[in-house]
Amino acid sequence: MATALITGASSGIGMALARVHAEHGGDLVLVARRRERLEALKAELEAAHDVRVWVIVADLAQDGAPRKVYDLVRELGLDVDILINNAGFGLHGLFHTQDPEHLSQMVHVNVLATTMLTRLFVPHLIARGRGHIMNVASVAAFMPGPWQAVYYATKAYVLSFSEALADELRTTGVTVTALCPGATETEFKERARIGRVRGFEMGAMSAREVAEYGYRAMLAGKRVVVPGWRNRLLTFLPRILPRSWTVVMSRIGMEPL
């Protein structure tokens, strides 16, 4: 069965994806900073399923971290069949008030780590003529986002990058899926210091629902998937509304109540 490398597997959607993959009988490489969380998940999955799990502790905000993860995977002698770039975080607030270092880390994790891990692993997938890449974007990818300007822009990058790569790889047997969740019950909201905003007050999906939906879509080779009808409506509106209205809609969803 396929081996999947999942970044951000220590909580939320990444942890749920790891459980879904293990239920399918697949081995796993779990990547994040919190070792104890990853070790606990490894113990849980190896006890419950006939799978092997490896833990790699890495801070993907650091320059060179994707290369270190890649080198460790090679040293372990593992072939990664499924690469899931899920690690990411947001930061709520007006751009001119936000901590520059925090913003820089966000771009590193959400954009650079996703890009470089994909660049490092994809030649192996192409050489074998099969495999899947899933990049976790967001409904935020479809619109500019006042109060989370940088976060929304990072997700627009992830979506654009994924769609272009999916096209480049169309004859290789390797598929690329951009999973675009809306509000989801994870540690994301608290870590992004979002507080009370309409975008989350209207209800959130569970990480498990999002993971199952994304995993199925990835295996089916779908390119862009949005879990939940409300999120699909949210990503449809920017296609028909003028861009200036979309920005206002987006602001109404994210400004503090």
Ligand X SMILES: NC(=O)c1ccc[n+]([C@@H]2O[C@H](COP(=O)([O-])OP(=O)(O)OC[C@H]3O[C@@H](n4cnc5c(N)ncnc54)[C@H](OP(=O)(O)O)[C@@H]3O)[C@@H](O)[C@H]2O)c1
Which CB atom, from 26 or from 88, has the smaller least distance to ligand X?
88
For the chain, the distance separating the N- and C-terminal CA atoms, rounded to the nearest angstrom, is 48
Task: Please tell me the distance from the alpha carbon of residue 151 to that of residue 92, in angstroms, as a whole number.
Answer: 8
Query: Do 73 and 85 contact (CB within 8 A), yes or no?
Result: no
- Residue 150 binds ligand X, judged by CB under 6 A: no
- Residue 253 binds ligand X, judged by CB under 6 A: no
Half-sphere exposure of 65 (CA within 13 A, CB side): 20
Among 138, 162, 177, 246, binds ligand X (CB under 6 A): 138
How many residues form the binding site for ligand X (CB under 6 A)? 30
Which CB atom, from 62 or from 172, has the smaller least distance to ligand X?
62
- Residue 87 binds ligand X, judged by CB under 6 A: yes
By CB neighbour count within 10 A (0-12 exposed, 13-18 middle, 19+ buried), where does 145 fall? buried
Q: What is the 3-state secondary structure (H, E, C) of the chain?
A: CCEEEEECCCCHHHHHHHHHHHHCCCEEEEEECCHHHHHHHHHHHHHHCCCCEEEEECCCCCCCHHHHHHHHHHHCCCCCCEEEECCCCCCCCCHHHCCHHHHHHHHHHHHHHHHHHHHHHHHHHHHHCCEEEEEECCHHHHCCCCCCHHHHHHHHHHHHHHHHHHHHCCCCCEEEEEECCCCEECCHHHHCCCCCEHHHHCCCEEHHHHHHHHHHHHHCCCCEECCCHHHHHHHHHHHHCCHHHHHHHHHHHHCEC
Least distance in angstroms from the C-beta of 142 to ligand X: 11
- Residue 162 binds ligand X, judged by CB under 6 A: no
Which CB atom, from 12 or from 145, has the smaller least distance to ligand X?
12
- Residue 29 binds ligand X, judged by CB under 6 A: no
- Is 215 noted as a catalytic residue in this protein? no
Contact segment (CB under 6 A) with ligand X among 83-91, 117-125, 164-172, 216-224 equals: 83-91
- Residue 86 binds ligand X, judged by CB under 6 A: yes
- Residue 84 binds ligand X, judged by CB under 6 A: no
- Residue 114 binds ligand X, judged by CB under 6 A: no
Which CB atom, from 79 or from 209, has the smaller least distance to ligand X?
209
Residues of this chain, 32-61, that bind ligand X according to CB under 6 A: 32-34, 37, 58-61
- Residue 191 binds ligand X, judged by CB under 6 A: yes
- Residue 22 binds ligand X, judged by CB under 6 A: no
Least distance in angstroms from the C-beta of 117 to ligand X: 11
Among 10, 148, 235, 246, binds ligand X (CB under 6 A): 10
Among 11, 98, 115, 172, binds ligand X (CB under 6 A): 11
Residues at the site binding ligand X, with contacts judged by CB under 6 A? 7-14, 32-34, 37, 58-61, 86-89, 109, 136, 138, 181, 183-184, 186-188, 191
